[in-house]
Amino acid sequence: MKTLSEIQISELIENLKRKNISYRTDVNLSILSSFKIGGISPLVIEPENNESLVLALESLKQLDAPYKVLGGGSNLLISDKPDDFITLRLSGEFKEFKQIEDGVFYIGAAANTTPTFKKISQMGYTGVEFLSTIPGWVGGAVIQNAGCYGGELFNKTEFVEFIKDGTLHHKKKEEIDYGYRFTEFLRNKDSIITGIQVKVDAGNIEEIEASLKDKRDKRNSSQPENKKSAGSVFKNPSFKDEQGNPIKSWKLIDQAGLRGIIRGGAQISPEHCNFIVNIGGATAADVHYLVHTIRERVLSSSGILLEREIEYFGRVG
């Protein structure tokens, strides 16, 4: 694995200054995570448009500096020591969304998913109300094909734009490999999502408002209240039980006797045991221990190996 030197950081900062690219040093990444877990990054680069993003990537490549892309931090466990790579975080124009025509919107990858799709819904468009309950940024939602309540982002996506090998690419949905909580972007990890275009249908505003409230209420009742977490830790298995019912990860975790287990400042939520919550001072190592314990115990009790849904950002455990 590549390492990061102080000389690389200093030279990179000089490059960023010359190219007028925004950056911050010694950033506590925990404040950028819904888990409120994570250490100090020596350098966070914040490109504000495609041009500055490409220039930043050129500088990173020129100095052979390792980097990782951080989005909204809502489905992520950040390393306790994220100091062996540069953190790249989109800003500026990437936070915007605009209406192209009736029912068609272009959304930047750094736009916040919840308020963006809530606003689109309140403009009188239906079918994306479920996305108003999903935290984080649109770029991360694209990578994982985020969804809930029977809907998923790619149902409404027309195309995705992304940077790969220093070049902007445009790919129609039909050309992208995607499925349940999965896309080729998640598998390959070689692209930076910059934006998407979605197409939605006009609907009845009263029905839309009722749908927004219904999904918000469902979300609030099914998740730990006012707790720091990264959402569902594991994906639901893709098969069914003997009665033909979908198998739920939370139920397997509960049946393994793990509800409420604590490690350091991290706890398997007593309210919803497919959530791990930060009850105060949790570290990435604490959470990783619980993740590992869940996988081992569920495999032992049910024969099912759970697949992690949350992503790790840097070395964890």
Residue 116 to residues 48, 69, 95, 131, 197: CA-CA distances in angstroms? 19, 21, 10, 9, 13
Which residue reads 């830790």 in tokens? Answer: 233
Which residue reads 């049946």 in tokens? Answer: 255
Residue 109 to residues 28, 93, 279: CA-CA distances in angstroms? 22, 9, 30
* Residue 172 to residue 158: CA distance in whole angstroms: 6
CB 76 within 8 A of CB 33: yes
CB 23 within 8 A of CB 87: no
* Residue 47 to residue 57: CA distance in whole angstroms: 10
* Residue 284 to residue 291: CA distance in whole angstroms: 10
How many residues can be counted in the chain? 317
* Residue 85 to residue 124: CA distance in whole angstroms: 43
- Burial of residue 221 (CB within 10 Å: 0-12, 13-18, 19+) is exposed
Q: Is beta strand 178-179 parallel, antiparallel or unpaired with respect to 182-183? A: antiparallel
Q: What residues act catalytically? A: 181, 232, 309
CB 13 within 8 A of CB 25: yes
Which residue type sits at 275? F
Q: Give me the phi and psi of 154, to 5 degrees please.
A: -70, -15
- Burial of residue 89 (CB within 10 Å: 0-12, 13-18, 19+) is buried
